[in-house]
Amino acid sequence: MKVLVVGSGGREHAICWKLKQSSKVTELFCAPGNAGIAQTAQCVDVKATDVDGMVKWAKENAMDFVVVAPDDPLALGMVDALEEAGIPAFGPRKNAAVIEASKAFSKELMKKYHIPTARYETFTELDQALAYIEERGAPIVVKADGLALGKGVVVAATVDEAKRAAREMMADKKFGESGSTVVIEECMTGPEVTVLAFADGERVRTMPASQDHKRAYDGNQGPNTGGMGAISPPPQYTPDVAARCMDEIFLPTIRALKAEGRPFQGVIYFGLMLTPGGPRVVEYNARFGDPECQAVLSLLDSDLMDIFTACREGTLDRADIRWKDQAACCLVLASGGYPLDYQKGYPISGLEEAGKSAVVFHAGTKLGKQGEFLTNGGRVLGVTALGDTLEQAIANAYAAAKPISFTGMHFRTDIGRAF
């Protein structure tokens, strides 16, 4: 099969790396990809959000299957457009991807189907939002409705901070139209875990749970990022918690989407908080998380192409999905200053050495004139290692990352130990 993966980050590198191991995949392409992905797949110069351009390229080059990995093209309906052009595509259609693209939609869905989540109200008028914040008090959480690169959420410790966030989103349009509607919700407490699951419209099959580290600095301090590292599986996600999540959250969500005429095929991301009152949904995403994907797919023992096909064909119950009985850790190496301003274009050394004991997924790299790897993004690399225990996986990832360096390189030293 000729397979195209849409996207350009560490997640897409991990998907390409795993698809490359499939005997079904004879030719692999990635649009637009990055310098690391180019070692596994042929990179194609089409932007991930260019729906028409992607359909045209996939048609002209006779792709047998397209995997749409990032949120933006899913929200734009890239899967719908590809399928309508006769090209089989993996990922939810636009009407199901809305569980990520609109927080107001996902919160209403949870309310209607009694899926546990934080209590909330939705606002389109700033005055009413401010009055509600005043009434509820702090701590309180203010969220822009739409996609905002993971930065449209403010967990406010004080009423003033919450009001400022609402003003910035609704009046100053900090996130453009994404903030015209805001969701204001109760602040939950407890460890956070991610559960990714394959879904075929009817069924879900969960992957091993994982845990992202969203804050930039050690001890969960500093600004929110796309994710500074991930482990799988986190110790807090016990079999009892898993069984409860399946009954109270995963199955009800898939059934709710089907009942609403929005069957979900693809990877569904359950962002959960294990509160004292039980597991509750923090957010849904319509795709693999990044960097959770890098850790979790490293544990997959089966053929990813077969699983993607089963999701699309509605035969997930029969798919062969086996996982290594090990743990994984993905350590993100980022540019100094990320997630705020940072410089790009620095040479990266030590990649070959690191690659001997871990898989180094590239998130933001490009090739220099002499064929050397240069930094080209906020998150640059995801050094991913396995171990027989979580401790061992973490130690292996840090040891493997040791030889890697570039100007300004920043990483957290407490991945897997911060909770």
Give which of ligand AMP, ligand GLY, none residue 285 binds (C-beta under 5 to 8 Å, depending on kind).
ligand GLY
Sheet of strand 153-156, all strands in order from the earlier edge strand to the far edge = 120-123, 182-186, 140-144, 153-156
Q: How many residues bind ligand GLY (CB under 6 A)?
A: 7
In this chain, which of 1, 38, 155, 409 binds ligand AMP, going by CB under 6 A? 155
Q: Using the 8-state DSSP alphabet, how is residue 247 labeled?
A: I
CA angle in degrees (0–180, nearest 5) for 83-264-84: 10
Q: At 331, which helix (H) or strand (E)?
A: strand 327-334
Under rule CB under 6 A, which residues in 178-217 are in contact with ligand GLY? 212
CA distance 194 to 243: 15
Q: Is 208 exposed, middle or buried (0-12, 13-18, 19+ CB in 10 A)?
A: buried
In this chain, which of 104, 129, 188, 333 binds ligand AMP, going by CB under 6 A? 188
Give which of ligand AMP, ligand GLY, none residue 72 binds (C-beta under 5 to 8 Å, depending on kind).
none
Q: How far apart are the first and last CA of the chain?
A: 43
Binding segment toward ligand GLY, per CB under 6 A, in 286-294, 307-315, 329-337, 344-352: 286-294
Q: Which is nearer to ligand AMP, 46 or 118 (CB)?
A: 118
Interaction mask 255-274, ligand AMP, x per CB under 6 A: ----------------x---
CA distance 218 to 213: 9
* Residue 69 beta carbon to ligand GLY: minimum distance, rounded to whole angstroms: 10
Binding segment toward ligand GLY, per CB under 6 A, in 134-142, 177-185, 254-262, 288-296: 288-296
Under rule CB under 6 A, which residues in 223-252 are in contact with ligand GLY? 227
Assess 384 for contact with ligand GLY (CB under 6 A). no
Assess 100 for contact with ligand GLY (CB under 6 A). no
CA distance 65 to 121: 40
Under rule CB under 6 A, which residues in 141-170 are in contact with ligand GLY? 150
Q: How many residues bind ligand AMP (CB under 6 A)?
A: 15
Q: Using the 8-state DSSP alphabet, how is residue 224 labeled?
A: E
Taken in order 103, 107, 113, 118, is the CA torsion positive or negative?
positive
Q: At 310, which helix (H) or strand (E)?
A: helix 304-313
* Residue 394 beta carbon to ligand GLY: minimum distance, rounded to whole angstroms: 18
Assess 192 for contact with ligand AMP (CB under 6 A). yes
Q: What phi, psi does 294 have (nearest 5°)?
A: -60, -40
Interaction mask 214-243, ligand AMP, x per CB under 6 A: x-----------------------------
Under rule CB under 6 A, which residues in 110-139 are in contact with ligand AMP? 118
In this chain, which of 40, 178, 211, 285 binds ligand GLY, going by CB under 6 A? 285
In this chain, which of 72, 145, 283, 303 binds ligand AMP, going by CB under 6 A? 283
Closest to 329 measured CA to CA, from 412, 268, 272: 412
Alpha helices, DSSP H only, in 143-276?
Answer: 159-170, 239-245, 251-259
Q: Using CB under 6 A, list all residues that contact ligand AMP.
A: 118, 141, 143, 150, 153, 155, 185-188, 192, 214, 271, 282-283
